[in-house]
């Protein structure tokens, strides 16, 4: 990785992944500007970072034009959990369209690199597994998830347009399901739901028959991957999956969490949301060869971490 001491803009830096990224950059010795409108992010997430003289918080919206002097830009600002983006469809599209264009404009003007936080959702409900970066995906452009999926697909296309037309250096990282401390109980994702339900003795809500799969990456591995993608010279122009290829069925995840929390919660089956992908598993061979990155936290240790977070924060 490159030398530290960079001046870095993190949009969405008060969110779940963004705030962990800010902490990792500060620990590297970088100077961090965090831009966040706090629509899903929270001040508590950056309480530690705010104690550092190298951290600045700017409460604002990435869909408005940006004016900073920075060496690189991470664009993470967007609602990201299905429950959040169902309730903020237009804002999600603005953050990923106007917000991405604003970040790209800033990168063009200042000659700096931009990392686009994209998503495994660009693969939609994939017909091939595991998903490699050269798979085009299988996305419903008008379904309930489309504000997010198509927003991120637009963002990726915008990155490529600025790269081809203006020589902007872009790295696109497709983030797969990530979990860890600072997730919100109310964000509706599967791990916060199951952990909080198990701790509160409520039924674990399984959507569909629970046979759908996901692969869960601990946030510490995720932010290490994001930093390596940003600071590896050869990553310029690349699209890179970052996630943990340890694929499992949702129902088995529920069983694991119930056991780890020693909970006697029942399982309650609910309808599968429309367009819920049936399988998701990243092919991470590119991240391994190009960045020398691989996940290090196994699900057992990661679940211990997130369970202890929710014991204190729910």
Instruction: Choose the catalytic residue: 85, 86, 123, 148.
Output: 148
**Residue 88 interacting with ligand UDP (CB under 6 A):** no
**Which x/- pattern over 58-87 shows residues binding ligand UDP (rule: CB under 6 A)?**
-----------------------xx-----
Q: How far is the CB of 18 from ligand UDP (least distance, A)?
A: 17
Give the nearer residue to ligand UDP in terms of CB position, either 102 or 146: 146
Using N-to-C axis directions, what is the helix angle for 190-200 and 250-260, rounded to 10°? Answer: 40
Q: Which helix (H) or strand (E) holds 309?
A: helix 299-312
Measured CA to CA, the distance from residue 86 to residue 267 in angstroms comes to 25
Q: Which two tokens stand for residue 5?
A: 């001491």
Q: How many residues does the chain have?
A: 314
Q: How far is the CB of 189 from ligand UDP (least distance, A)?
A: 3
**Residue 190 interacting with ligand UDP (CB under 6 A):** yes
* 148 a catalytic residue: yes
Residue in 86, 135, 154, 207 binding ligand UDP, rule: CB under 6 A:
207
Measured CA to CA, the distance from residue 115 to residue 101 in angstroms comes to 12
Pick the piece of the chain touching ligand UDP (CB under 6 A) from 162-170, 183-191, 222-230, 300-308: 183-191
Measured CA to CA, the distance from residue 13 to residue 238 in angstroms comes to 23
Residue in 202, 247, 276, 305 binding ligand UDP, rule: CB under 6 A:
276
Beta strands in 112-265 (DSSP E): 113-119, 170-175, 178-179, 204-207, 213-215, 217-218, 239-242, 247-249
Query: Which residues bind to ligand UDP, rule: CB under 6 A?
Result: 81-82, 177, 188-190, 193, 205-207, 212, 214, 250, 273, 276
């Amino acid at each position: 990785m490159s030398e530290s001491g960079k001046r870095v803009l993190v949009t969405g830096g008060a969110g779940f992944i963004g705030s962990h990224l800010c902490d990792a950059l500060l620990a590297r010795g970088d100077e961090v500007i965090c831009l966040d409108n706090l629509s899903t992010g929270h001040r508590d997430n950056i309480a530690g970072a705010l104690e550092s003289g190298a951290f600045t918080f700017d409460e604002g919206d990435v869909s408005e034009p940006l004016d900073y002097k920075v060496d690189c830009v991470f664009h993470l600002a967007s609602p990201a959990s299905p429950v959040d983006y169902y309730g903020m469809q237009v804002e999600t599209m603005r953050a990923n369209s106007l917000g991405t264009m604003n970040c790209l404009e800033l990168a063009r003007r200042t000659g700096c690199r931009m990392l686009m936080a994209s998503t495994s959702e660009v693969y939609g409900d994939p017909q091939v597994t595991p998903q490699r970066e050269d798979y085009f995906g299988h996305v419903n452009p008008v379904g309930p998830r489309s504000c997010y999926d198509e927003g991120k697909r637009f963002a990726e296309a915008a990155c490529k347009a600025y790269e081809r037309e203006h020589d902007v250096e872009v790295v696109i990282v497709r983030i797969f399901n990530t979990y860890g401390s600072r997730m919100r109980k109310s964000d509706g994702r599967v791990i916060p739901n199951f952990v909080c339900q198990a701790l509160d003795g409520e039924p674990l809500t399984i959507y569909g028959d629970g046979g759908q799969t996901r692969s869960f990456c601990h946030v510490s591995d995720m932010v290490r991957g994001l930093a390596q993608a940003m600071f590896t010279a050869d990553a310029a122009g690349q699209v890179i999956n970052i996630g943990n290829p340890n694929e499992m069925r949702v129902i088995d995840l529920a069983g694991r969490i119930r056991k780890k929390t020693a909970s006697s919660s029942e399982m309650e089956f609910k309808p599968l949301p429309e367009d819920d992908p049936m399988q998701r598993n990243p092919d991470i061979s590119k991240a391994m060869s190009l960045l020398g990155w691989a996940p290090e936290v196994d699900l057992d240790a990661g679940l211990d971490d997130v369970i202890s977070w929710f014991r204190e924060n729910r």
